[in-house]
Structure 1
Amino acid sequence: MTMSPRLLVYTAIVLPLTLAGCATAPAEGSIRAALPADAGSAAFAATDLAAAQGAYDAGDSAALTILLDRLRNRGVRPLDPDGEQTVDRWSQAATESGPPLRGRALGPGFLRGRLKPEELRATSQIFLAGKPTEISVAGGKGQPLRLRLLDAKANVVCERDPAYGRSCRFTPIFTQRYSIEIANRGANETSYYLVFD
């Protein structure tokens, strides 16, 4: 069987370009570590946020673009000015020009912070009775964080140690204020992303 000259030229030009494009596209596994099979939307958002920080720090604009698109498609939004500034920096460094992650009415929201080694940070959030809730936290690559959720009587509702890729999911029986504790159990300072959904 012989190939026509036109098909030969097409194969010689297009196939190498296609393969080159495949070689340069970031693989899913290189962007974010594998998550447990039962990971929820907050865990995916938290790990994507931590991976976006890693891509930004490494100057990997292609991976950062993919992660920003995924976060945007999930409706993830910052809940404080620090988060908005972080997303603005990422958007400027990415190879895309989509709308920023802000001003959305629905979808998970996140808070960003930093923890020194062995530091514990506590925040509080009111969760409504009967409304299913999920929270998750992720930090820098390989940084062991602990997530603990306590009710108004300081009873532990949920604990994840290590927290990466894992969520606390529950439906409150009563509307009340819950405490959320994040602890850095590692030897290095790390940033973290706490996601509420």
Structure 2
Amino acid sequence: MRQTTLAAVLTAMLASLTAGCASPQARGASTVPSAPVTRADMVARLLVAAEQAANGPDPQPRRLAEALAALDRLGARPAPGATDSLTDPLPGWRTSVPDTARPAMRGRLLGPAYRRGLLEPGATTTLAQLFDGGRQARVAIAAASGGPLGIAVLDGTGKPVCPVRQGTGSQCSWVPPFSGRHHIRLSNPGAMRVAYYLVIE
């Protein structure tokens, strides 16, 4: 019951934080039909809302603080290798909101891992990721600027477990039958460089 309540509260907060935040390109872009919001998808969208609150033409410290608090409640953490301000901007955002204290993570399960990235027009990038067999796997992506991105997930044999999806925000959920390496393929079909957040759970 408590988990359901938390999900409802965070979903309402996400709707409030992201209302009117989408870029003009994103507002005009086609999106994937709506699907149930997963924790990974929620983290991806909260990261975009936090970036827009921190770096928009009219910075909004209060909205940034709310987004950071929601990310903490979800247990969001940087992905391995996300060690600088480009791939993990949260430390810098926290310093700009001094009254926002990060809650202690001791005793909590860590949640989805995030990474910020940039993709040039027409470019494709592939990231390798290990997933455990028999456990729900989730991947979500949200564009912080620019147009829509394509995302697909392939198993170790190259078989698609998540067919190509395109939009400013997309997610994929599946249960791998066996533990193994998968490949997350991102593509930018547009004419603009795209900043994005990739979230893996």
Q: Same fold (TM over 0.5)?
A: yes
Cα distance between partner residues in 1 of 2:193 and 2:105: 27
Q: Aligned pair 1:92/2:95, yes or no?
A: yes
Aligned to 2:173: 169
Opposite residue 120 of structure 1, the aligned amino acid is T
Cα distance between partner residues in 2 of 1:163 and 1:128: 27
User: Would the aligned equivalents of 1:109 and 1:195 in 2 still touch at CA under 8 Å?
Assistant: yes
Q: Aligned pair 1:81/2:79, yes or no?
A: no
User: Would the aligned equivalents of 1:109 and 1:196 in 2 still touch at CA under 8 Å?
Assistant: yes
TM-score by length of 2: 0.75
Cα distance between partner residues in 2 of 1:52 and 1:101: 20
Q: Deviations over 1:118-161 (max 9, x none)?
A: 11111101111101111101112462011110011111110352
User: Would the aligned equivalents of 2:78 and 2:113 in 1 still touch at CA under 8 Å?
Assistant: yes
Change (3 A) 1:101 1:36: farther
Aligned to 2:70: 70
The answer to which structure has the higher helix fraction is 1
Cα distance between partner residues in 1 of 2:104 and 2:124: 28
The secondary structure found in structure 1 opposite 2:67 is helix
TM-score by length of 1: 0.76
Aligned to 1:116: 120
Match of 1:147 among 142, 148, 151: 151
Pairwise CA RMSD of aligned residues? 2.7
User: Would the aligned equivalents of 1:39 and 1:165 in 2 still touch at CA under 8 Å?
Assistant: no
The secondary structure found in structure 2 opposite 1:162 is strand
Tell which deviates more after alignment, 168-177 or 183-192: 183-192
Per the TM alignment, residue 87 of structure 1 is displaced from its structure 2 partner at its CA by: 0.7
Cα distance between partner residues in 2 of 1:82 and 1:102: 21
User: Would the aligned equivalents of 2:146 and 2:194 in 1 still touch at CA under 8 Å?
Assistant: no
Q: Aligned pair 1:125/2:129, yes or no?
A: yes
Opposite residue 86 of structure 1, the aligned amino acid is P
Identical residues among aligned pairs (%)? 28
Opposite residue 67 of structure 2, the aligned amino acid is L
Change (3 A) 1:100 1:30: farther
Opposite residue 41 of structure 2, the aligned amino acid is A
Change (3 A) 1:27 1:173: closer
- Please list every run of 5 or more consecutive structure 2 residues that lacks an aligned counterpart in the other structure: 1-14, 28-32
Change (3 A) 1:105 1:88: same
Structure 1 runs, 4 residues or longer, greater than 6 Å off:
100-104
Cα distance between partner residues in 2 of 1:47 and 1:159: 21
Opposite residue 61 of structure 2, the aligned amino acid is S
Change (3 A) 1:164 1:96: farther
Cα distance between partner residues in 2 of 1:63 and 1:92: 15
Larger Rg: 1
Q: Deviations over 1:50-105 (max 9, x none)?
A: 22112211122122111111111100011220367511111122363211798874
The secondary structure found in structure 1 opposite 2:89 is helix
- Please list every run of 5 or more consecutive structure 1 residues that lacks an aligned counterpart in the other structure: 1-25
The secondary structure found in structure 2 opposite 1:129 is coil
